[in-house]
Chain A
Amino acid sequence: MGARTITVNVDSIDDARAYVETNFGPVFEKRIKSIGVGKRQSIWDNSNVLLNGTNIKLLNRIDLKDGDKLDLLPRVAGG
């Protein structure tokens, strides 16, 4: 995606998502299209998003603080 680790200032998880989609969505989209996928795809929705090692879907409330680490892991399930 052109960047492995970046530091950003965001106030909320929605801001984080917007940042990722804006800055890395087009690169992801291009990659996906290059392998023949026509349908629009979201980088966020195709990733397991972990906040400090826990999937954000498991968190009831997300309050971001300084130093939090967000990992976007492409969902891989093949064998």
Chain B
Amino acid sequence: MLNLAKDQPLDIMIRKLSKSLVTPDKKKMRVIDLQSVRLIASKKKVTRREAETFCLESDVVPVRYLCNIGTIGVEGQLKLLRSTVAVCGAGGLGGTIIELLARQGIGHLVIIDNDRFAENNLNRQILATESDLRKSKVNVAAARVKKINSAVVISALNKTIDSKNIKESIIGASVVLDGLDNLKTRRIVARACDELRIPFVHGAIAGFSGELMTIFPGDKGLDDIWALSVDENGCGIETYTGNPAATAAVIAAWEVQEAIKIVTGIGTPVRNRLIFLDFADSTFDEIPLS
């Protein structure tokens, strides 16, 4: 029986509860399981996010992140856990984004949406289930994240994004992700991100097509591509094509990759260029923005 008195030093407690493991590439690593992280949080009266952070700082990897470490390292996982990521929209793109970010181990998720699930969301919105119809998207998203990863702190903001409230919603975020379904709101968010000096990952879909780009402050952005006047909403061909499930999933997944790269500093984000995917013709185009 382990001695786990609550006054025991944290590092000793972590050491006692963790186990040694040899990875397939023969590296030695100390890991700690979910039950032990919960125990530490409970004994030390800290949040699960803090408990996981303490573990990683002690070079002990929560088992749930074991398969992340080869790609982003312990340092990268710590950066994710300490970060705040905002997701605007919790529908087709946003739902998958939220699911993946929670699994990846983002420490704080800000989720903004004013909508409720409707029946025509069921084809593609991963958070939408028959039993959740008419429920608030952000509340369903928050419940889902809690089920996936209870270490994630969630700010579920049930509100309509406008130019007056967006900054207070996303301030402090390391990156903001686009789960929106119209260009008007995207431009509001992109402008706020630019002013707050936060990178904005844009994604949009229509039928078999999808596009993506990451806009850092001062970069070329949505206005350079769409060139709309102030009042124009900018509907796309999704008006005709609708939005099938797989297109949303692919673009959402790529948005998450961008967020991970930005937070960890690993890799190269898609900057000053637009990626355009056409799954009908199986084509991939990269358009440099001058």
Q: Could you list which residues of chain A lie within 8 angstroms of chain B, going by C-beta atoms?
A: 4, 32, 35-37, 41, 46, 48, 50, 52-58, 71, 73-79
Contact A76 B287 (CB under 8 A): no
Say how far A67's CB is from chain B's closest CB, in angstroms: 13
Among listed B56-64, B73-81, B141-149, B220-228, interface-contacting one? B220-228
Contact B287 A75 (CB under 8 A): no
Task: Enumerate the 7 nearest inter-chain pairs by beta-carbon distance, A residue then B residue, closest first.
Answer: A78-B238, A53-B290, A77-B236, A57-B227, A55-B227, A76-B206, A79-B181
Contact B180 A32 (CB under 8 A): no
Contact-size category for B: 35 or more
Contact B238 A77 (CB under 8 A): yes
Contact B237 A46 (CB under 8 A): yes
Contact B205 A50 (CB under 8 A): no
Say how far B41's CB is from chain A's closest CB, in angstroms: 35
B199: interface (CB < 8 Å): no
Interface of B is mostly: mixed
Q: Which residue of A is nearest B181, CB measured? A: A79
Residues in A whose Cβ lies below 8 Å from that of B94: 79
A21 and B22 alpha carbons, distance in the complex (Å): 62
Q: Which residue of B is nearest A52, CB measured? A: B290
Residues in B whose Cβ lies below 8 Å from that of A50: 225, 287, 289
Contact A71 B237 (CB under 8 A): no
Among listed B13-21, B28-36, B45-53, B85-93, interface-contacting one? B85-93
Say how far A65's CB is from chain B's closest CB, in angstroms: 14
Interface string of B200-241 (1 = CB under 8 A from A): 000111110111000000001000111100000011111011
Contact B182 A77 (CB under 8 A): yes
B111: interface (CB < 8 Å): no
Say how far A76's CB is from chain B's closest CB, in angstroms: 4
A35: which of B183, B240, B290 is its contact (CB, 8 Å)? B240
Contact A54 B290 (CB under 8 A): yes
A43 and B287 alpha carbons, distance in the complex (Å): 19
Say how far A75's CB is from chain B's closest CB, in angstroms: 4
